[in-house]
Structure 1
Amino acid sequence: MNTRVVHVIDDDDAVRDSLAFLLGTAGFEVKTYESGQGFLDLREEALEGCVVTDVRMPGLSGFELAVRLRARGSRLPLIVITGEADMPLAIEAMKAGAVDFLEKPFDDGRMIRAIENAISADGEPSGEEGPFDIVARRLAMLSEHERRVLDDLIDGVAGSAAAAEPGAGAQAVQADRDSLVTKMQAGTTADLVRLALVTRRSRKSLR
């Protein structure tokens, strides 16, 4: 089985071409699709490797694609690409079965590492985020309040609370997020959420 096949799904021609070139030079066999439905229609011929898809597309979104693949019993790892405004949708995609997400504009090296992680046997986070056990230890060191803030962020509660409570409330939420980003050495809020979700999934797989 050729696990180094990457199926790139994006309605933007430039994005597809750019990813195809990047991944091709990294030694992957790349197949591109203009839509999630187009990929699903050919799914019987596309059982190997990894899927990289934009999360927001006309027709079938990356989230809906994750749901349908999971319903079909597919074990293909799926990575979603998201803009800042689409992060809640990316989180839902991970809850539906996606293994990772990267926020635009993403670093080329990070994309390659994400794919390598997705197709690896253990599926644990690696690269600049550090080994799985290091990330897990960082999570374990969070206070009860910090864990609640992180859970709320993943569930979308914190954002709603900040919107409903302007001024000091919003500032407090942002301060909590910034503190978590620093403690987890995540870089950005999106990286923080991604690390937490990927680590939780890896931890569950070890049980």
Structure 2
Amino acid sequence: MSQVRPVIHIVDDDASFRTAVGRLVEASGFRVALYESGDKILAVLPNFEPGCILLDLQLPGLSGLELQQHLVEKAPLLPIIYLTGQGDIKASVMAMKAGAEDFLEKPVVGKTLLAAIERALCQYEKRHVEQDRIHSLQVRVGSLTPREAQVFDLIVRGKLNKQIAYVLGTSERTVKAHRHCVMEKLGVRSLAEAVLIAEKMGRLDPASNPSPYE
């Protein structure tokens, strides 16, 4: 877990509940940010510090589910825990399908809430690591020259060097040189690793394998 103390964002229009939960969370070693509505939290996010969001389902203005849609776009790393006294099965299913980490009903036991927060923070860490990994892959793929990118797109589709040479109108020897550069710049040793990068970057549809240059 990051050395920076996580921020627990509490969005609830009940001032007394908001304050009580804030004190509990703060006493457990976390930083706290309190908001009375969805507009308030949207005004300050995105937040690039580790943390999670405790979100009420029924809010003035944007509902919890509506706010969740904005939060997924503006602060995708921050897991959402619903904390509501007006929950129902339909709402909880919708929330979880939309990516909520947990759905707890008020009143909630302190230990239960803190355990949910810990799980959410672990999820934040996983998302953060994955984001860094994606950024690293984007940098590597972005370092390819236009011709190397063409060779990359073709080799991950299983094309042989002679096939790539024919498609690109060049020699097999030149393709081999480009292929070596591609593997070196991507930091991979096998075609399988290159394919995984292509899939991760959305350059390769696993379901269909057409060449973009044929």
TM-score of the aligned structures, taking structure 1 as reference length: 0.54
What is the match of residue 157 of structure 2? none
What is the match of residue 147 of structure 1? none
Q: 2:110 aligns with which of 88, 108, 111?
A: 108
Deviation for aligned residue 1:74? 1.5
What is the match of residue 75 of structure 1? 77
Q: Which amino acid aligns with 1:75?
A: L
Return the alpha-carbon distance in structure 2 between the equivalents of residues 46 and 18 of structure 1.
25
Larger Rg computed on CA atoms? 2
Q: 2:92 aligns with which of 81, 90, 93?
A: 90
Q: Does the CA contact (< 8 Å) of 1:51 and 1:77 recur in 2?
A: yes
Q: 2:122 aligns with which of 114, 120, 123?
A: 120
What is the match of residue 32 of structure 1? 34
Distance 1:46 1:17, change over 3 A: farther
Deviation for aligned residue 1:90? 2.9
Structure 2 gaps of 5+ residues are 127-214
1:30-179 to 2 correspondences below 5 Å: 30-45=32-47, 47-72=49-74, 74-120=76-122
Confirm or deny that 1:10 pairs with 2:12.
Answer: yes
Return the alpha-carbon distance in structure 2 between the equivalents of residues 121 and 94 of structure 1.
14
Deviation for aligned residue 1:65? 1.6
Distance 1:21 1:29, change over 3 A: same
- Give the secondary-structure state (helix, strand or coil) at the position aligned to 1:51: strand
Deviation for aligned residue 1:48? 3.0
**Larger fraction in helix:** 1
Return the alpha-carbon distance in structure 1 between the equivalents of residues 31 and 102 of structure 2.
20
1:165-194 CA-partner distances (Å, limit 9, x unpaired): xxxxxxxxxxxxxxxxxxxxxxxxxxxxxx
Structure 1 gaps of 5+ residues are 125-207
- Give the secondary-structure state (helix, strand or coil) at the position aligned to 2:46: helix
Q: Percent identity?
A: 39
TM-score of the aligned structures, taking structure 2 as reference length: 0.52
Deviation for aligned residue 1:44? 3.2
- Give the secondary-structure state (helix, strand or coil) at the position aligned to 1:44: coil
